[in-house]
Amino acid sequence: MQARQKLGAPGRHQLKQLEDAQAPGSQRVSLLLRGHAELSPDEREELVRDGAKIRTTAGNILTVDAPVDAVDRLLSHDFIVAGEVSAPLYPEADEEPYLDIAG
């Protein structure tokens, strides 16, 4: 399965729009990721190495912020079964710019 297939159609469309609109390396996006089970510390560390900033975890669900160009790497892990693009909850809290996908 291709990594992007783990996103729903609206998420794939949003991500494509974000990539077309801005230089992907300079922007971040928020994601909701669902794991096959609660992620191990090693699995969470792999996500961090691939560019994710883990915000919250609840069982097998994580919210992360990541560079737009890291989304495919994050979704490509076998332990991630699905993902959705979401708007950042508190974009002003970070130093890096965000893309507003909700507007």
What CATH number corresponds to the domain at position 74?
3.30.70.2980
Q: What distance in Å separates the CA atoms of residue 68 and residue 18, rounded to the nearest whole number?
A: 8
Q: Cα dist. 29→41, 42, 76, 77, 103 in Å?
A: 23, 23, 17, 18, 14
Within a domain: residue 95?
Answer: no
Q: Cα dist. 39→47, 62, 65, 97 in Å?
A: 10, 9, 17, 28
Residues 59-92 have pLDDT tens digits of 999 999 998 889 999 999 999 999 998 755 555 5
- The residue type of 56 is T
Position 102 scores a pLDDT of 44
φ and ψ at residue 56, rounded to 5 degrees: -140, 155
Within a domain: residue 102?
Answer: no
Residues 13-57 have pLDDT tens digits of 777 777 777 654 567 889 999 999 999 999 999 999 999 999 999
Which is nearest to 30 in space by CA: 52, 12, 4, 48? Answer: 52
Within a domain: residue 101?
Answer: no
Q: Show the beta-strand stretches assigned E in 1-103.
A: 28-35, 53-58, 61-67, 80-86
Domain that holds residue 14: 3-90
Give the predicted TM-score (pTM) of the model.
0.73
